Structure 1
């Protein structure tokens, strides 16, 4: 399985990822975009969370859709944990994360 490269302001991270994982994350981020758009209209939205574990690696994406003026301004908190002892927590632009996944999926 080819690595998924996630880019952020201070660098990038490549991790092994199955196509099913990337597709599920892409669909979840589309739901987040819809939540942010609904929040613009005054409809309060619950926090967005995506979690995936593959072996000793876990990835979590968190966002409060009520904080952002638009999906293009939104950022998510990305946490990657790899045993033993690696933990990366970084804020990533939603659009950048979506672009990285689309590139991985060849869209």
Structure 2
């Protein structure tokens, strides 16, 4: 048998759970958000003075942005593919610039005797 000072049939956190135990519940405002996949999300916000409800909310089901207008949900953000370092360099420099830089680098190596 267990020790005599344990309360039988209870666990941590068990007991009557009412407002008297936790305090008063704050007034809540429920706002509907709709994503482009027709998912509805209804987060709640504490109703307080100066409450600012966000225009967009991330859909917990698909991760797309959701707005409050069901007929015109926000579009999915455009995802650009991963770019390599070379792709970024080619955006900044033309092929002629690249050839000139290469020639300068090769001339420098020739001057130092590292290549023939």
Q: What TM-score do the two structures reach when normalised by structure 2? A: 0.22
Q: What TM-score do the two structures reach when normalised by structure 1? A: 0.23
Structure with greater proportional strand content: 1
Q: Which has the higher contact order (CA 8 A, sep 6+)?
A: 1
Rg bigger for which structure? 2
